[in-house]
């Protein structure tokens, strides 16, 4: 350790000569995990002419043209607890960055001391000294009392010669940006969950209404069949067959009602309310919102830049890389500038005077030479952590590509399914109309009419299910494209609070 009276000019010169070196690897960016996608190639599964390679809108739920859904999504993005948790973690990360930045500055403290001292003089100066004192005619006092006052300012500054603290700032900054991406990812997830729960609710309400209508028709058919049995125009087998159809259809209603209740509860919690709080708003049935006729999907390169989970994984790679530098910096000595300035006097009135002033300033050097083995192990651990983060980043990119391509395929194929079922439903509607005309002319029985109507309702049931799945596939596609975060302005304010 250097003496404390080391000259300030020399200390600053040492700091200037040694400063500015940052050890450890500099971050060079993430690896190319999807070469084809990052060159601007289109999506492989975007084969429909209704899928266009233009940037999709961030607030994709507005394209469903359902104001209730739009209000619910906006409310969830502002109040959802998962978003709030992610926002709180972001604020924590920013506070850590502030701490790491402050570590570069000197630490200054002040101390004030007022002491009354009693020293046992006789025990220390007895013997020979006592004889001298006695010979001179003076008695040695048993103890001596005196006051001591001190007021001082202490400063410590660790000079970041090898960049360990700078790497810590880099790591904290990257972790803060990863936390910001986590907020965006939470917004993407919440927007999709609200929309899918809403679509599932509307689909279940529609299917429940169709089921109750079909059960009513089948109950009517059972009654007519019983009348025909009494008149000898039908058999017991006909009655039981119709009764079986009725009971089977009626048994589906409780399942749809349970799905409705589940969706209502889920939506309430997603907007941070208690179950039942949105029942009055959502229990009146509405049709399933349908996607737009033309779908903007962009390209894979835009999707990779936009998805917050990829951004988060990339920032975690940068944070892990910075940690290597922190570990490497421990191989080198640490230099601190320490200083003290103040006043010391047995008289409180002298505090603040030039005569009572005191100061010292100089560097200290510490070097944990015997800890090299431990430090090298920490370096290897940090390097392995960076390799892990790189592998996770590549996996996140590839998983994102899989999600998007699969969502595009499901959406395109489900669109074709809905089109076919719509044609089947229209055909069943025409058959029902023709059956009514024949029944009016007296050429077929009422039971035949009811059976055709039952088939029409079954076609509508299949179409309603397919439409709900189609819209949910649309929602899943928007989620896979990384849409639904950063807007509107209120959500940015929520994150920054």
For every residue of 440-474, DSSP letters joined together read: HHTSS-HHHHHHHHHHHHHHHHHHHHHHHHHHHHH
Sign of CA dihedral 180, 184, 187, 192: negative
Phi, psi of 113 (to 5 degrees): -130, 135
Q: One digit per residue, pLDDT tens: the chain, 497 residues?
A: 333 333 444 444 444 444 458 999 999 999 999 999 988 899 998 887 677 878 888 899 999 999 999 999 999 999 999 999 999 999 999 999 999 999 888 888 888 888 888 777 766 665 544 444 444 455 667 777 888 888 889 999 988 899 999 999 999 999 999 999 999 999 999 999 999 999 999 999 999 999 999 899 889 888 988 988 888 887 888 888 888 888 998 999 999 999 999 999 999 999 999 999 999 999 999 999 999 998 889 899 999 999 999 999 999 999 999 999 999 999 999 999 999 898 988 888 888 888 888 888 888 888 888 888 999 999 999 999 999 999 999 999 999 999 999 999 999 999 999 999 999 999 988 988 888 788 777 777 777 777 888 888 899 999 999 999 999 999 999 999 998 886 443 343 333 33
Contact 166, 326 (CB under 8 A): no
Hey, what domains does the chain have and what are their CATH numbers?
Answer: 1-20+107-159+334-366 (2.20.200.10), 31-104+161-332+371-496 (1.20.1600.10)
72 burial type by CB count under 10 A (0-12 exposed, 13-18 middle, 19+ buried): buried
For every residue of 275-327, DSSP letters joined together read: TTTTHHHHSS--PPP---SSEE---HHHHHHH-HHHHHHHHHHHHHHHHHHHH
pTM of this structure:
0.82
Token reading at 24: 């450890």
Tell which phi-psi region holds residue 475, choosing left (phi > 0), alpha (psi between -120 and 50) or beta.
Answer: alpha
Residue environment code for 151-166, b if the CB has 16+ CB neighbours within 10 A, otherwise e: bbeeeebbbbbbbbbb
How many CB atoms are located within 10 Å of the residue 231 CB? Answer: 8
């Amino acid at each position: 350790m250097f003496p404390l009276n080391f000259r300030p000019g020399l200390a600053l010169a040492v700091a200037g000569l040694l400063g500015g070196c940052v050890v450890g690897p500099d971050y060079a960016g993430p690896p190319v995990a999807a070469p084809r996608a990052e060159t601007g190639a289109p999506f492989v599964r975007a084969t429909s002419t209704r899928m266009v390679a233009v940037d999709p809108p961030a607030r994709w739920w507005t394209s469903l043209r359902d104001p209730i859904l739009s209000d619910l999504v906006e409310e969830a993005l502002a109040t959802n607890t998962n978003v709030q948790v992610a926002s709180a973690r972001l604020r924590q990360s920013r506070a850590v960055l502030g701490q790491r930045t402050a570590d570069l500055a000197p630490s200054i403290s002040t101390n004030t001391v007022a002491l009354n001292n009693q020293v046992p003089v006789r025990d220390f100066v007895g013997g020979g000294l006592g004889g001298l004192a006695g010979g001179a005619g003076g008695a040695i006092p048993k103890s001596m009392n005196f006051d001591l006052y001190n007021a001082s300012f202490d400063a410590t500054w660790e000079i970041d010669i090898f960049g360990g603290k700078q790497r810590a700032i880099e790591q904290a900054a990257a972790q803060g940006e990863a936390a910001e991406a986590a907020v965006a990812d939470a917004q993407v997830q919440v927007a999709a969950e609200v929309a899918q729960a809403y679509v599932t609710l509307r689909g279940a309400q529609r299917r429940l209404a169709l089921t109750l209508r079909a059960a009513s028709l089948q109950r009517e058919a059972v009654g007519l069949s019983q009348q025909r049995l009494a008149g000898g125009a039908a058999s017991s087998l006909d009655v039981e067959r119709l009764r079986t159809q009725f009971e089977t259809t009626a048994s589906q209603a409780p399942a749809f009602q349970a799905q409705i209740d589940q969706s209502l509860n889920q939506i309430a919690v997603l907007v941070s309310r208690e179950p039942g709080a949105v029942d009055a708003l959502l229990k009146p049935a509405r049709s399933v919102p349908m996607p737009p006729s033309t779908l903007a999907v962009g390209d894979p390169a835009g999707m990779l830049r936009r998805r917050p989970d990829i951004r988060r994984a990339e920032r975690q790679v940068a944070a892990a890389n910075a940690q290597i530098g922190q570990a490497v910096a421990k191989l080198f000595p640490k230099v601190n500038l320490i200083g003290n300035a103040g006043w010391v006097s047995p008289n409180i009135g002298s505090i603040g005077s030039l005569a009572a002033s005191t100061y010292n300033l100089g560097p200290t050097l510490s070097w944990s030479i015997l800890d090299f083995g431990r430090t090298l192990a920490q370096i290897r651990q940090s390097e392995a952590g960076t390799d892990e983060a790189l592998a996770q980043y590549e996996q996140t990119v590839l998983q994102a590509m899989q999600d998007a391509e699969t969502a595009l395929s499901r959406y395109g194929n489900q669109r074709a399914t809905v089109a076919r079922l719509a044609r089947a439903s229209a055909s069943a509607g025409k058959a029902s109309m023709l059956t009514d005309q024949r029944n009016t002319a007296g050429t077929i029985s009422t039971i035949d009419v009811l059976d055709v109507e039952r088939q029409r309702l079954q076609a509508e049931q299949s179409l309603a299910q397919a439409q709900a799945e189609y819209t949910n596939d649309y929602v899943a596609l928007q989620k896979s494209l990384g849409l639904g975060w950063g807007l509107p302005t209120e959500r940015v304010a929520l994150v920054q609070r």
